[in-house]
């Protein structure tokens, strides 16, 4: 299973996030930063996959919850 990610932010923060992800995942990419268009910072593209020595991932089902219109104040 490979997941593609786009990280956007300041270069030093992105480097820290890539280092953190590398602790639990095999990480490819992240060596080239592109300037964000119309915004500050840069973006990088990664591909990550679980390491072979990691236990299998358990999927969690989530559901979308919409607040009721009555609870929203004008």
**In a domain? residue 40:** yes
**In a domain? residue 59:** no
Whether the per-residue pLDDT at 40 is higher than 70: the answer is: yes
Q: Strand runs (DSSP E) across 1-74, as ranges?
A: 3-9, 25-29, 34-35, 42-50
Q: Whole domain around residue 25: which residue ranges?
A: 1-50
Whether the per-residue pLDDT at 15 is higher than 60: the answer is: yes
Number of domain units in the chain: 1
* Helix/strand number for the chain, H first, E second: 1, 4
Whether the per-residue pLDDT at 58 is higher than 90: the answer is: no
Angle at 69 between CA 63 and CA 74, to 5 degrees: 135
**In a domain? residue 61:** no
Whether the per-residue pLDDT at 55 is higher than 90: the answer is: no
Whether the per-residue pLDDT at 35 is higher than 70: the answer is: yes
Confidence of residue 62 (pLDDT cuts 50, 70, 90): confident
**In a domain? residue 25:** yes
Compute how many other C-beta atoms are within 10 angstroms of the C-beta atom of residue 14: 19
């Amino acid at each position: 299973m490979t997941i593609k990610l786009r990280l956007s932010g300041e270069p030093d923060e992105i480097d820290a996030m890539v280092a953190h992800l590398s602790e639990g995942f095999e990480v490819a990419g992240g060596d080239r930063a592109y300037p964000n268009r119309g915004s500050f910072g840069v973006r990088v593209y990664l591909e990550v996959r679980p390491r072979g020595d990691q236990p299998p991932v358990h999927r969690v089902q989530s559901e979308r919850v919409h607040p009721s219109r009555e609870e929203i104040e004008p």
